[in-house]
């Protein structure tokens, strides 16, 4: 509970990031809708972004601009976008084959 009384530091950012991550993971794990899963992925990635930002900020190192984290987050956002495009293509193809985007119906790889 020290975190609630101390000034805002990296740990606070990390907690928020972790909360976003966990929500994203829960969303990925529990959603039946494929688009929901994709949303979860976005959440996970954004949680990781927050972590990057936190670690690259001036809070930890004073002699830098504090922009390294932001830059990494930018990369990740671009990658997330690309990956979302690909994932949506997969989902579209899946819909064309199965007439549904229920991930529970995607058990063709069952051993």
- The binding site for another protein (CB under 8 A) comprises 25, 28-32, 37, 103-104, 106-111
Query: Residue 70 or residue 105: which is nearer to another protein going by CB?
Result: 105
| Planar angle of CA 64, 49, 76, nearest 5 degrees | 100
Q: Least separation, in Å, of the C-beta of 111 and another protein?
A: 3
How far does Cα 81 stand from its chain's mean position?
A: 11
Of 29, 32, 41, 36, which Cα lies nearest the Cα of 79? 41
Q: Least separation, in Å, of the C-beta of 32 and another protein?
A: 8
Give the Cβ contact number of residue 86 at 10 Å: 10
Query: Residue 72 or residue 103: which is nearer to another protein going by CB?
Result: 103
Q: Least separation, in Å, of the C-beta of 53 and another protein?
A: 21
């Amino acid at each position: 509970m020290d975190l609630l009384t101390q000034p805002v530091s990296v740990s606070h950012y990390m907690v928020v990031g972790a909360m976003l991550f966990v929500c994203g993971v829960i969303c990925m794990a529990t959603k039946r809708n494929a688009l929901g899963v994709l949303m979860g992925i976005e959440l996970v990635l954004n949680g990781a972004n927050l972590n990057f930002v936190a670690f690259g900020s001036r809070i930890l190192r004073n002699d830098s601009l504090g922009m390294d984290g932001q830059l990494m987050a930018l990369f990740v956002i671009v990658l997330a976008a690309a990956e979302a495009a690909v994932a949506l293509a997969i989902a579209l193809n899946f819909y064309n084959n199965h007439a549904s985007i229920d991930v529970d119906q995607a058990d063709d790889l069952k051993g």
